[in-house]
């Protein structure tokens, strides 16, 4: 964990939540709208949203979700797949599918918070308002950000030009002003993935 | 400044038709393929139109290409109506070049429709370049 700091990453205060996350609740949704673990459509946006609300519930004591949706053993947290699936169902009720940008996640989480009588400030931007400087500002304010865009390279595997939604919890800027990020990729075991790419939209919330 | 009508009309017409075809492909065909990765190295391929907000939410370049194509088409129509205005021609050509650049950059998320769009935009760009040459020749004569 200290190695991330020594590598020069600017991180959110409780980044260890993401680096220690035992399970992100990965699941997929099949054509009938049922939860499956393989062979369905990806719901990366909802998985990322699930991590964001769990982060605030566990680390910041916000109590947005009950312990039905996660388990906690010491520093190790496991999100159950019921959480992203529940968020997907919120989106589905609003007419959204499995594919999401910041707007779909914004309204799915708005619906999620409304049920809980909780008010948060949703921050949902498309490019050019969704940009590196804006993300860096939110990270400096201790807010992890859901990054939607085209990833050109990443440290987890050799896939290139993938469109993905990930939870960014740290960034680094090179001497030439190029940004790279460290994120949880929304797959089991992909807790500490550094990447760079073209951003399309971003989502976070403040309270 | 009005340009003499000696500028070949067919070049402008070809550019207009190419732009119209490119725009209709951009709107009605699903020319952009996004690759959504799944756990275990699997990929979920999804096709979208250039103007889909989903494309803009992940890779804004194709939508910018689409907007530039629409603007170039609008301006070329205006140029024909106003009997070839030099300023409008310059704006049309700029939009057309930007659309070609966008289409080339969009090749990273391309499928065969995207290739057609790029070719059509390149044809329109070349035709507009030809129109530009004629305009400069006429200006020199004047």
Closest by CA to B118, choosing from B8, B3, B32, B60, is: B32
pLDDT-based confidence at B5, cuts 50/70/90? low
Look up tokens 């998320």; give the residue: B109
pLDDT-based confidence at B130, cuts 50/70/90? confident
Residue B141 pLDDT > 60? no
pLDDT-based confidence at B120, cuts 50/70/90? very high
Residue of B41, B44, B53 lying closest to A157 (CB–CB): B41
**Cβ-based contacts under 8 A for chains A and B:** 68
pLDDT of residue A2: 54
Reported ipTM: 0.90
Residues 6+ apart with CB under 8 A from B19: B69, B72, B73, B76, B96, B120, B121, B124
Chain B CB contacts of A128 under 8 Å are 60
pLDDT of residue A113: 94
Contact B57 A159 (CB under 8 A): no
Chain B residue with CA closest to A190: the answer is B39
Distances (CA, A) of A178 to A170, A197, B23: 14, 10, 34
Contact A201 B108 (CB under 8 A): no
pLDDT of residue B106: 86
Q: What value does the mean pLDDT take over residues B38-61?
A: 92
Contact A28 B57 (CB under 8 A): no
Contact B58 A163 (CB under 8 A): yes
Tell me if A11 sits within 8 A of A169, measured CB to CB: yes
Top residue of A99, A149, A157, A183 to mutate, by most chain B CBs within 10 Å, is A99
Provide the 10 A C-beta neighbour count for residue B120. Answer: 25
In angstroms, what separates the C-alpha of A166 from chain B's closest C-alpha? Answer: 11
Chain B CB contacts of A126 under 8 Å are 56-57, 60
Task: Look up the pTM and report it.
Answer: 0.90
Give 10-residue mean pLDDT values along chain A (207 residues). Answer: 80 93 94 91 95 93 90 90 96 94 96 92 94 94 95 82 94 90 93 93 95
pLDDT of residue B23: 95
The tokens for B5 are 């009508």
Provide the 10 A C-beta neighbour count for residue A61. Answer: 7
DSSP readout, A156-203?
S-S--SEEEEEEEEEEEE-TTS-EEEEEE-SSTT--SEEEEEEEEEEE
Rounded to an integer, what distance in angstroms lies between the CA atom of residue B46 and that of residue A10?
34
Q: What percent of chain B has pLDDT over 70?
A: 90
Residue of A26, A149, A201 lying closest to B39 (CB–CB): A26
pLDDT of residue A136: 95
Rounded to an integer, what distance in angstroms lies between the CA atom of residue B26 and that of residue B32?
9
Distances (CA, A) of A74 to A60, A144, A192: 15, 22, 20
Residue B85 pLDDT > 70? yes
Provide the 10 A C-beta neighbour count for residue A152. Answer: 13
Chain B residue with CA closest to A188: the answer is B39
In angstroms, what separates the C-alpha of A205 from chain B's closest C-alpha? Answer: 18
Contact B46 A149 (CB under 8 A): no
Chain B CB contacts of A193 under 8 Å are none
Contact A200 B35 (CB under 8 A): no
Contact A42 B41 (CB under 8 A): no
């Amino acid at each position: 964990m200290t190695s991330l700091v020594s590598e020069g990453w600017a991180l959110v205060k409780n980044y260890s939540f993401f680096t220690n996350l035992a399970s992100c609740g990965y699941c997929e949704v099949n054509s009938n709208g049922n939860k499956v673990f393989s062979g369905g459509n990806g719901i990366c946006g909802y998985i990322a949203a699930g991590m964001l609300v769990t982060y605030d519930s566990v680390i910041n004591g916000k109590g947005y979700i009950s312990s039905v949706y996660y388990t906690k053993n010491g520093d190790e947290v496991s999100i159950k797949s019921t959480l992203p699936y529940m968020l997907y169902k919120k989106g589905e009720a609003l007419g959204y599918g499995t594919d999401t940008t910041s707007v779909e996640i914004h309204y799915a989480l708005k619906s999620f918070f409304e049920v809980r009588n909780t008010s948060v400030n949703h921050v949902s931007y498309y490019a050019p308002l969704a940009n590196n400087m804006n993300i860096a500002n939110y990270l400096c304010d201790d807010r992890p950000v859901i990054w939607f865009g085209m990833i050109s390279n990443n440290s987890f595997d050799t896939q290139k030009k993938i469109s993905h939604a990930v939870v960014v919890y740290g960034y680094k800027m090179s001497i030439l002003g190029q940004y790279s990020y460290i994120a949880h990729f929304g797959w089991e075991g992909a807790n500490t993935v550094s990447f760079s790419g073209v951003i399309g939209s971003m989502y976070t919330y403040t309270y | 400044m009005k340009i003499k009508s000696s500028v070949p009309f067919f070049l402008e017409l070809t550019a207009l038709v190419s732009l119209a075809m490119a725009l209709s492909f951009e709107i009605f065909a699903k020319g952009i393929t996004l690759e959504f990765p799944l756990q275990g190295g699997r990929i979920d391929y999804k096709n979208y139109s250039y103007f889909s907000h989903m494309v803009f939410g992940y890779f804004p370049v194709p939508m910018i290409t689409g907007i530039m194509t629409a603007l170039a088409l609008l301006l070329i129509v205006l140029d024909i109506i106003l009997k070839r205005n030099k300023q409008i021609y310059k704006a049309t050509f700029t939009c057309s070049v930007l659309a070609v650049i966008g289409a080339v950059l969009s090749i990273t998320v391309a499928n065969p429709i995207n290739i057609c769009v790029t070719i059509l935009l390149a044809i329109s760009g070349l035709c507009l370049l030809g129109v530009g040459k004629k305009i400069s020749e006429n200006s020199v004569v004047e």
